Amino acid sequence: MNRFLPPEAFVELNDGIGEVLFSADEIATKVHEMGQAISLDYNGRFPLIVGVLKGVVPFMADLLRAITIPVEIDFLAIASYSAETRERGLVRLEKDLEESIKDRHVLFVEDMIDTGLTLNYLLRNLRAREPASVEVCALFNKPRRRLIDMPVKYKGFDLPDRFVVGYGLDYRGKYRNLPFVGLLKPEVFQPKNNNTG
């Protein structure tokens, strides 16, 4: 049985979706597989699972339920001055970790890896704190946009170089709560041409 609401329950949000790429069931299956792999690899190591707010919340919540070993969780929050500066990896830390990660096994969880620049910044920041290990888990990956090759130990789905939303991925704060991932219709994010002649 599907534990998520069906897409029909999101009529207003669905108006902006052109095509569903990954259903709620496909995502749930993949997250469960990732959780099982993490459980095997980190058994006996009590990892610290670190997520970046806000987009990672749906994925991280489901991933934590799929992990069958003891873990601890923490979050980072980043901000950029504009979407352009974030794409270039120019971000600032708005919320830092609450505990030291020195000598801890850290699993860094991301909703999506795009250019790799922001992830590179965050990983350098974490590694400077001398953890025992740092690995990356990402549910979504846009390999065609990658500017920096990033090692990702646990991967979910590859995405096309298109505007996708749902399951934590947003457009102007909307669509994060969709239980599936879909392509946003171009008319939602492209400026309208007001030329009439």
For residue 113, the model assigns a pLDDT of: 93
Question: Peptide bond before 30: cis, by omega within 30 degrees of 0?
Answer: no
Among candidates 60, 62, 63, which has minimal Cα distance to 75? Answer: 60
Dist CA 170 CA 70 (whole Å)? 30
For the question of residue 15 being annotated catalytic, the response is no
Q: Give the separation between CA 106 and CA 172, rounded to whole angstroms.
A: 30
The structural domains of the chain, ordered by start, are 25-159 (3.40.50.2020)
Q: How far apart are CA 3 and CA 65, in angstroms?
A: 13
Which of 66, 21, 70 has the alpha carbon at shortest distance from 46?
70
CA–CA distance, 167 with 111 (Å, rounded to integer): 9
Which of 102, 45, 35 minimizes the C-alpha distance to 72? 45
Instruction: State which residues of the chain have pLDDT below 70.
Output: 1-13, 80-89, 191-197
State the pLDDT at residue 149. 87
**pLDDT computed for residue 1 by the predictor:** 41
Burial of residue 173 (number of CB atoms within 10 Å: 0-12, 13-18, 19+): exposed
Contacts of 130 (CB under 8 A, 6+ apart): 101, 102, 103
Query: How far apart (Å, rounded) are the C-alpha atoms in residues 119 and 89?
Result: 8
- CA–CA separation, 9 vs 14, rounded Å? 9
Question: What pLDDT is attached to residue 100?
Answer: 96
**Contact yes or no for 115/85 (Cβ under 8 A):** no
User: What pLDDT score was predicted for residue 59?
Assistant: 98
Q: Of residues 62, 74, 114, 149, which has the active-site annotation?
A: 114
